[in-house]
Amino acid sequence: MKRLCFSIGCLLLSTGQAVASEGVPAEVPTLVELSAKEINRIVCPGQMSDLIFSEEKGLTGHFSGNNAFIKFTAEEVGGKLKYSKEPSEIYAVCNGSVYTIIGAPAEMNAVTVRLALPKSETVEKNIVRYKNMPLEKQALQLIKEAYDGVFPSSYQVIDKKQPMHLCPDLDLVRQQVVEIEGVGLRLKSFKATSRLATDLELNEKTFLAAAVGNPILAVAIEQHNLKPKQSTRVFVVERKDLPAATVSAIDTGAER
């Protein structure tokens, strides 16, 4: 079996100085748009122990481990399927707390709803995770987690696409923002697509722009050489504890 290796060409920097995607809080009724036709997922930052909803309101669902799955049922009327248009209450019991979701059916793709840890617990877990790491290793750890697409439940993961203008050679779309509260770090994930008719070589310094992040601690590019119309992922780590400032670059590398 061929082993796949990913080399992070990473630029570390030293400085002079959507409700559902952000996480539904416990005990606070929260309105969330869900897909009217697809299976929606609810993610608990721990163990899911119960899922309560009304079948009479056109809902079906089940839970297993830290996941629950909810779908609006359809009724056949005149040979056509008719889906519910009315919001319905969904109660998820996660880590001993009750989360109240007001699910509003909408014409959209399947939705993943994340249940948020209490703020104090979130901060404590993050501090314990990073307290013995130098700042550079913290950035590399966060980039590796982003590459794998698997984050600890104490992170706040916000999936929201936003096109950004950086340079004429690239189409750049921000895909995800990850907040690590209590540590002072934020990660942004981008999709960069070449607009050239010839090969394009990317450099980390290209992404040192205020539109991308400020102040930036690290930049990592998954694939540096792009064919015409080819895309790659770019990860940017910001320091939230410092004001926007002039940065100087330190080239480093990590391999996984």
**Structural domain 24-114, CATH architecture:** Sandwich (2.60)
**What does the block give as tokens for 220?**
């990592």
Query: Per-domain residue ranges for the chain?
Result: 7-18+118-255, 24-114
H-helix or E-strand containing 125? helix 119-130
Show Cβ contacts of residue 191 under 8 Å, excluding neighbours closer than 6 positions.
Answer: 172, 173, 175, 231, 232, 233, 234
What does the block give as tokens for 182? 């209590």
In order along its 256 residues, the chain shows pLDDT tens digits of 333 334 344 565 544 334 444 688 888 899 999 999 999 999 998 889 999 998 888 899 999 999 999 999 988 788 888 888 889 999 999 988 899 999 999 999 999 999 988 777 788 889 999 988 999 999 999 999 999 998 988 888 888 899 999 999 999 999 999 999 888 899 999 999 999 999 999 999 999 988 898 889 999 999 999 999 999 999 999 988 666 554 443 344 434 3
Q: Is this model's pTM higher than 0.85 or not?
A: no
d(CA 43, CA 65): 9
